[in-house]
Amino acid sequence: MGNVAEAQRAVSYMSYADFAGMTAAEARSHFREGKYIGHTAGIAPGMLQGNVVILPAEYALDFARYCQRNPQPCPLIGVSDTGDAMMRTLGDDIDIRTDVPAYRIYENGELVDEVADIRHMWRDDFVAFAIGCSFTFEDALIADGIRLRHIDEDRTVGMFITNIETEKAGPFSGGTVVSMRPLTVENAIRASAICARFPHAHGQPVHMGDPAAIGIKDINAPDWGDKTDFRDGEIPVFWACGVTPQNAVRSAKPSICITHAPGRMLVTDVPAWATDSKKPNSSN
């Protein structure tokens, strides 16, 4: 069990380009075999992707409450039965122990490891939560002709802890984590309208303009992900981010917590734009 960088050197048999044209189920089968531990942006386009948080059942009710109370950063799209590793409402054969490219392990709130597989760690009292992801609205923005620099430059979007406090639930609390994309004012307005259609994927932005207004000291020093350059006329636009629970886990200090590794999301069999009642959109 090595860290992801090491594993990537050792066992990454597939490159990102190999996933072009694959269905979500096909892509997951390769993740399951340990053949790819990279990011999932653009894989199985049009399908809902999710952040992952796995906790012992003793924390699960409080965490469910945390998500309900903070739907913009934490829109719940799926919750497993206790001890059941299959995400049955998100696809026919999704094993949360193997089907995410890479995982982060937290013990008592501290990040202790990154791994490609958690079969050896699974417990009968684990509950897996899937939370909507920005990849969904990014697809919609791109489809509408709005270019996103971090994608054009093949970087991970920059993420920042803010002073926008989340609504506490049990031990879970802390500042909202946001992702930031530079846009022209015109595109920021268009993006706000487009993203409002995706409440299960963080919805409209939480802020635009002055980073200091939401407690961000240096827009060039993200807490996660990469720095993004600005061009003339662009402003920073901030969206609530599914990494928020990872920040809450730092303060809650559960004995054990497993999440996806940033950018390595759960790719589901559910259409990202679905709005009917049978889809795992907590808003419909």
Tokens representing 63 are 């965490």
Closer to a second copy by Cβ: residue 199 or 254: 199
- Single out the residue of 24, 76, 116, 159 in contact with a second copy (rule: CB under 8 A): 76
Q: Which CB atom, from 105 or from 241, has the smaller least distance to a second copy?
A: 241
Residue 129 is inside which H or E element, if any? Answer: strand 126-132
User: Judged by CB under 8 A, which stretch of 33-41, 72-80, 98-106, 144-152 contacts a second copy?
Assistant: 72-80
Q: What residue has token string 């889809």?
A: 279
- Hey, is 168 helix, strand or coil? coil
Of residues 35 and 65, the one with the C-beta less far from a second copy: 65
Rg (Cα) of the chain, in Å, rounded?
18
**Contacts for 67 with CB less than 8 Å, ≥ 6 apart:** 74, 75, 76, 129, 131, 245
Interface pattern 180-219 for a second copy (x via CB under 8 A): ----------------x--xx--xx-x-------------
Q: Is 173 in the site for a second copy (CB under 8 A)?
A: no
Binding residues for a second copy restricted to 212-271, rule: CB under 8 A: 240
Q: Which residue lies nearer to a second copy by CB, 8 or 68?
A: 68
The nearest distance, CB 203 to a second copy, in angstroms, is 5
- Rounded CA gap, 88 and 226, in Å? 34
Q: In terms of CB distance, is 7 or 169 closer to a second copy? A: 169
Burial class (CB in 10 A: 0-12, 13-18, 19+), 65: middle
Residue choice 50, 78, 91, 254 for contact with a second copy (CB under 8 A): 78
Size of the site for a second copy (CB under 8 A): 36
First to last CA, the chain: 41
Rounded CA-CA distance 187/181 in Å is 11
Q: What is the DSSP string of 172-193?
A: B--EEEEEEEEEEHHHHHHHHH
Residues that bind a second copy (CB under 8 A): 57, 60-61, 64-65, 68-73, 75-76, 78-79, 81-82, 89, 127, 167, 169-170, 196, 199-200, 203-204, 206, 240, 275, 277, 280-284
